[in-house]
Amino acid sequence: MSEPIELLVCVTCRHLDAPADPERPRPGRLLADALAGRMPEGVILRETECLSNCKSGCTVALRGPGRWTYVYGNLDAAQAETVAEGAVKFRDAPAGLVPWRDRPDHFRKNCIARIPPLEAQ
């Protein structure tokens, strides 16, 4: 297997229109908690703060050395299995380029950005 990839989960995410409520955990925190301990081999879960995509709710990014980076939004803890499935497909795809038709449905409809590898010309 090649180098591990990273799944970054914004733990400060909330929908832009949702009021901050210190009594309720943020959706990103709930998603990170749902994914903890469930990452497949070769996928490292990293919690991060603010991916600057609040208008699209909870946001994650998939990245790895020599790979394209993908950013997906509009997620919540109920989609933890979808996120894990997408991470496996990303891990297994050459350069992280998962064919559109092979991505989980939610990833097809909620791709925020695709960023070329640092090594790209």
Judged against a pLDDT cut of 60, whether residue 83 lies above it is answered with: yes
What is the longest distance spanned by two Cα atoms in the chain? 47
Q: pLDDT grade, residue 25 (50/70/90)?
A: confident
* Domain layout of the chain by residue ranges: 5-115
Q: Where residue 26 falls among pLDDT bands split at 50, 70, 90?
A: confident
Beta pairing, strands 5-10 & 69-75: unpaired
Which class would CATH give 5-115?
alpha beta
| Residue 20, pLDDT above cutoff 80 | no
Q: To 5 degrees, how large is the angle CA 71–CA 7–CA 35?
A: 115
DSSP calls for 86-108: HHHHHHHSGGG---GGGS-HHHH
Residue 113 β-bridge partners: 71
Name 67's Cβ contacts closer than 8 Å, sequence gap at least 6: 5, 90, 95, 96, 117
Report pTM.
Answer: 0.91
pLDDT at 1: 55
Find the Cα–Cα–Cα–Cα dihedral 101, 96, 72, 44, rounded to 10°. Answer: 130
3-state DSSP call for residue 81? helix
| pLDDT, averaged across the chain | 91
